[in-house]
Amino acid sequence: MLPNLSSLKTDALSQLEQIQSPDDLPVWYRAWLGRKGHLTEALRGLGGLSAEDRPKAGQQVNQLKEELEQAFQARQEAVKNLALAASLAGGALDITLPGRPLQGGHLHITTRTLRKIRQIFGEMGFQVYEAPEVETDETNFGLLNIPPYHPARDMWDTFWVDDGVVLRTHTSPGQIRCMREYHPQPIRVILPGKCYRYEAITPRSEHQFFQVEGLAIGRNITMTDLIGTMREFTLKMYGESRRLRLRGSYFPFTEPSIEIDMDCMICQGKGCRVCKHTGWLEVGGAGMVHPVVLENGGYDPGEWTGFAFGMGVERPAMLHHGIEDIRYFYSNDLRFLHQF
Ligand code: DAH
């Protein structure tokens, strides 16, 4: 007896349509088209038919088999696409999401301070002159009017590289190099750079630090030009309301020599911890270039005059930002560096 082929077909197709997972496909195939599947059973049923019914029924079963095979192929394809769509939806790359931020670097606090100093002097027409960090004893001291026996050598504790060769203790030797290169022309330069001193490292002193030197040589340069230049710089660097104070001082390479202070920008001169309750902060040393130094640089002191100044870089940055220990500048601790 042949089973009802049309209900067999409806059942088979409706079950096939419900398959979502690729794992269920072989299960369906075994149940319907496999060796012990429903259709094979139907074929077996053909044996019970009369000889005249058998060919027609056989044809119908074979046709159904063909249809189910085709439906299976189609479903297999559809399920594959379903799986692909699901995996795309699940693990999708959303290109509209914001990216993960990269941690960017930035300029060191010393570099930023140096750049600001360069910019202010640049606006006043000063060029930058670079001089070497390894210097001769002669240029670092002798030509700056500090002969070997001079007690002023005690002002700079020196790293000696070799006999007669030092790590520069200040940027002042650059004055000699610059004058020797450009004489007999007027000069207006700053000389920024690293200096070294054989000193104990403490919260207030490092054995390497930056200075910015200044040098102006001309035919009618006076102390007034020096004061005006320092005033302009201080106001631009530390605020328009700053006041300057000049004190007589001594440096072997300038005569007369002064030290320049400004009123403390933290307490506006009232007195605080930063200015040690004096109300004043040191800007730098300065003076009129000593005739001996002019001569050593190739300028006739009867014809030329000039001023010079020298200032620290880390110290003002420390004051400005309330940094209590100069050692942070070189310790490369990102927690410190990222604050600026
Ligand atoms: N070279 C000096 C120092 O390191 C600073 C200085 C003072 C530089 C007076 C100058 C100057 O050019 O005129 O202590």
3-state secondary structure 171-182: CCHHHHHHHHHH
Q: What integer pLDDT is reported at residue 139 of this predicted model?
A: 97
Q: Ligand 1 centre and the CA of 175: distance in Å?
A: 11
State the chain's mean pLDDT as an integer: 91
Does residue 86 or residue 259 have the better pLDDT? 259
Rounded average pLDDT over 304-312: 97
Res. 118: pLDDT tops 90: yes
Looking at residue 235, its pLDDT comes to 95
Q: Name residues whose C-beta falls within 8 Å of residue 209's C-beta, 6 or more positions apart in sequence.
A: 194, 195, 197, 312, 313, 314, 326
pLDDT score for 325: 86
Give pLDDT, residue 1: 56
Of the listed ranges 79-88, 118-127, 171-180, 303-312, the least confidently predicted one is 79-88
- Give pLDDT tens digits for 17-56: 999 888 999 999 999 999 888 888 888 888 888 888 888 8
Determine the residue type at 71: A
Mutation test residue for ligand 1: of 157, 167, 190, 253, the one with most atoms within 8 Å of CB: 253
Q: Torsion angle of alpha carbons 322, 324, 328, 334, nearest 10°?
A: -50
Average pLDDT estimate for 79-97: 82
Helices (H) and strands (E) counted in the chain, each on its own, are: 12, 10
- Please report the pLDDT score of residue 267 as a whole number: 87
Determine the distance separating the centroid of ligand 1 and the alpha carbon of 223, expressed in angstroms: 15
Q: Which two tokens stand for residue 236?
A: 């631009």
Of all protein residues, the one whose alpha carbon is nearest to atom 7 of ligand 1 is: 285
| Model confidence pLDDT, tens digit, residues 212-234 | 999 999 999 999 999 999 999 99
Q: Does the C-beta of 285 come closer than 6 Å to ligand 1?
A: yes
Q: Is 206 in the pocket of ligand 1 (CB under 6 A)?
A: no
DSSP assigned state of 222: -
Q: Average pLDDT, stretch 140-146?
A: 96
Model pLDDT for residues 314-334, shown as the tens digit of each residue: 988 888 788 888 889 988 888
- Spatial separation of the C-alpha atoms in residues 172 and 188, rounded to whole Å: 14
